[in-house]
Amino acid sequence: MRRTVRERALFSAGARVLVAVSGGPDSAALLSALARLSRRGALPLTLHAASVDHGLREDAAADVDVARALAEQLEVPFHPLAIQVSALGGSLMARARAARYAALRELAGVLGADAIAVGHTLDDQAETVLSRLLRGASITGLAGIEPRRADGVVRPLIDCRRAEVHAHVARHRLPHVADPSNRDPRFERARLRETILPALASEDPRVVEHLARLADDARAMRGLLDAEADAIASDSGSCAIAGSEPVRARAVSRWIERLTGAPAKRAHLDALLRGDTALLPGGWIARPDGARIVAEAAGDHPTRARRSRALDASGLSADGSRPHTSLDGRASGRYD
């Protein structure tokens, strides 16, 4: 883990790090490993731990108590957080995630933390890449889980196998709880973990490492595309259509995300780049206009809105997407 922190530039020695602890084994191992590295002087840190009760399960408070016990055992200051999840916008899981990270960012600001550490592993990365691959994600979606996000969220365990992480928990007898949904076949995450990846591993024993390496390669390629895409002129109302096909696609995708605050859908992008009109999230109409794509409020243009709904009837969902075809593969919202 120390190598990951250094090579991926997650934070430096002396940093103040807020560790998100769910009560599960991955975050338990994360807090334990960081505390042990800090105590030994290998990576001096000022650590704080936080656990979030989303108010969605009756036993959630018990998970927070387990996280508290772990923090006390490791002598790390603990901060319980209780949040309310909005009833509007996206799936319940996506809304819970957004509320959780908002609460963690607020606490990090109060504490003056340099980073918020969460416990995703190499196996989580592989599952994410495979999920997005099955959904037809573009190269940007195959970038998977970000080791370091722009908002300061970092993942020190992203190069560690889950089995190694759980072995650390057992070796040090760390208090933790098991999430039964991890083995519930109703959830895609569980099916990938329990059935699909083991089947792939019978063909390639290193499939997890190879999928995770694909994420690193895709992230590097995305950086090159972004550099070229950002050079293409765009503003709040329009985006130029210029450059090679991958650069055009990336420029329009980033413009849609800035305009709507939501990831671009492949259906939106395909429609616009072939010269059709698209109805975007937030009530925006986007359409080609010469060498640019322009956006206007849908309510101001009922004729165009009707045209977009006609496109919807030909295969797009109400928000302009086909099932599981987001460019970044975040349809399920489970892995970030």
**Domain boundary assignment for the chain:** 2-120+155-178, 233-313
pLDDT, residue 24, reads 95
pLDDT, residue 316, reads 40
Using DSSP, state whether 12 is helix, strand or coil.
coil
Alpha-carbon span 16 to 49, nearest angstrom: 11
Closest CA to 20 of 1, 34, 38: 34
- Lookup: tokens for 228: 């070229």
- Lookup: tokens for 233: 């002129």
Per-state percent for the chain, helix, strand, coil, to nearest 5: 50, 15, 40
pLDDT, residue 255, reads 93
Alpha-carbon span 179 to 238, nearest angstrom: 45
pLDDT, residue 18, reads 98
In this structure, are residues 27 and 119 in contact, taking their beta carbons and an 8 Å threshold? yes
In this structure, are residues 102 and 54 in contact, taking their beta carbons and an 8 Å threshold? no
In this structure, are residues 265 and 317 in contact, taking their beta carbons and an 8 Å threshold? no
Residue type, 63: D
Q: Select 2-120+155-178's CATH number: 3.40.50.620, 3.40.50.11540, 3.90.870.10, 3.40.50.150.
A: 3.40.50.620
Let me know if 180 is exposed, middle or buried by CB neighbors in 10 A (0-12, 13-18, 19+).
Answer: exposed
Alpha-carbon span 10 to 247, nearest angstrom: 29
59: left (phi over 0), alpha (psi -120 to 50) or beta: alpha
In this structure, are residues 145 and 120 in contact, taking their beta carbons and an 8 Å threshold? yes
Residue type, 126: A
Alpha-carbon span 30 to 316, nearest angstrom: 42
- Lookup: tokens for 288: 């080609």
Alpha-carbon span 43 to 117, nearest angstrom: 14
Sheet of 278-280: strand order equals 238-240, 292-297, 284-289, 278-280
Low-confidence ranges of the chain (pLDDT < 50): 302-335
124: left (phi over 0), alpha (psi -120 to 50) or beta: alpha
User: pTM for this one?
Assistant: 0.83
- Lookup: tokens for 257: 């995300």
